[in-house]
Amino acid sequence: MSKSPVWHPFHQHGLEEPIPLVTHAEGAALYTDDGRRVIDAISSWWVTTHGHNHPHIMAAIREQTEKLDQLIFAGWTHEPAETLARGLVDLMPDGLDHVFYSDSGSTAVEVALKMALGYWHNRAEPRSRILVLEHSYHGDTIGAMSVGARGVFNRAYEALLFDVGTVPFPGANPQPSLDALEAACAAGDVAAFIVEPLLLGAGGMLVYPPQVLAEMRTICARHGVLFIADEVMTGWGRTGTLLACEQAQVTPDILCLAKGLTGGAIPLAATLASGAVYNAHYSTDRSRMFFHSSSFTANPIACAAANANLAIWQDEDVRGRIDALSRRLGKVLDRLAQRDVVTNPRQCGTMIAFDVDTGGDAGYLADIGPKLREHFYGCDVLLRPLGNTVYVMPPYCTDQDDIDTIAQAISTGLDRYAR
């Protein structure tokens, strides 16, 4: 076969690492063209919740393809989008009554930022500063990169990024972080604070407690700062509850959803907003409308998949599967934590993570990351370490045998490559 013209994301082609070709998938497994069954231990970048090719979601997609494939959504609508919007409003925290569709987690965040800035602009109040949490990651479009941590992900694009205020990540003593947020909000120019609730993803799978999230929400409310919860990764059960915000009894002003919205089957995102945010754009003046869209906003086929996902949450024991998977992964983490090279073991729902003590080489570009990734694939496991941070986040259907295989692959990888 000639060399592929495909340019892969987050992949250095100059290293000429082999790229597996996947032919099909089912449940927790991927199948390659050379006959291998590979356990998808990171849910194909955190999107696959119930498992690959869930029959109800696939059936909904097939049925919708016979009805309506695509429709302009500016001033037009269709049944799958209407049904999904009502379902999301019913399922999500009270007060998030308006649903705006987009295509990905990054665009859901872009929409949220534009909603927040539009809210203050239409109220004729001079607030335009955005606050972010240290080490955060919200996507790879320009606005989403701007509200993420500065570093290797976006260093080449620094000239395009807008300035934000950064709140320190809440460590063992969260008070300095809360004090910094309080001081920044008190300045009076902050439009919104955006957070990944409880669990920071690409920033290193960092975990902080629900009470800190609740206090951050309280501070923002005290100063009238809009609170944006980016639940693109944390939503749909990843942290043990439908939303991470549930554990802090927090309702954001704006909520970002994607990834598991369709069970991971097809791209779709939604940004939910409070009545206040919506009403700031509601007017007889056309210049006050919300100026955002994409060609495939609310694609009917994607909405049909999302409706099937909502039905699975309502009709099946998804929460029971999440609880069982969390317990099994917790036992794996307990065993791994006994090793000298394992530091900062942590768990949040169906995600477990730890850092590998490499004797100094740490961070996203740590050399041990690619070595471990290659080793894991040799064990028929898809794991993609964030440098020296190893994490596991499999689909909820992953059984004990596959968990044992994942644990064994990690153990032998540490034996081979850790200090």
Whether residue 360 has pLDDT greater than 90: no
Positive/negative CA dihedral, 6, 8, 12, 15: negative
Tell which phi-psi region holds residue 299, choosing left (phi > 0), alpha (psi between -120 and 50) or beta.
beta
Instruction: Return the structure tokens found at 405.
Output: 């295989």
Region 356-377 average pLDDT: 93
Q: Tell me the pLDDT tens digit for each residue of 155-180.
A: 999 999 999 999 999 999 999 999 99
The counts of H helices and E strands in the chain are 12, 16
- In angstroms, the first-to-last Cα distance of the chain is 39
Instruction: Return the structure tokens found at 284.
Output: 């007889």
Q: Tell me the pLDDT tens digit for each residue of 271-300.
A: 999 999 999 999 999 999 999 999 999 999
pLDDT confidence tier of residue 60, bands split at 50, 70 and 90? very high
User: Is 328:400 a contact under the CB 8 Å cutoff?
Assistant: yes
User: Is 356:418 a contact under the CB 8 Å cutoff?
Assistant: yes
Region 334-340 average pLDDT: 97
Whether residue 310 has pLDDT greater than 90: yes
Region 193-204 average pLDDT: 97
Residue in this structure with the two tokens 């689909």, named with its chain if needed: 395
State how far Cα 27 lies from the chain centre.
20
d(CA 354, CA 109): 28
Identify the pLDDT of residue 362.
87
CA angle 51, 55, 57 (to 5 degrees): 80
The domains found in the chain, sorted by start residue, are 13-53+317-417 (3.90.1150.10), 57-315 (3.40.640.10)
Whether residue 419 has pLDDT greater than 80: no
Nearest to 259 by CA among 371, 380, 129, 106: 106
Q: In the chain, what percentage of residues exceed pLDDT 70?
A: 100
User: Is 388:358 a contact under the CB 8 Å cutoff?
Assistant: yes
Q: In the chain, what percentage of residues exceed pLDDT 90?
A: 96
Region 95-110 average pLDDT: 98
pLDDT confidence tier of residue 1, bands split at 50, 70 and 90? low
Q: Tell me the pLDDT tens digit for each residue of 229-279.
A: 999 999 999 999 999 999 999 999 999 999 999 999 999 999 999 999 999
Nearest to 61 by CA among 310, 294, 311, 306: 306
Mean pLDDT score of the chain: 97
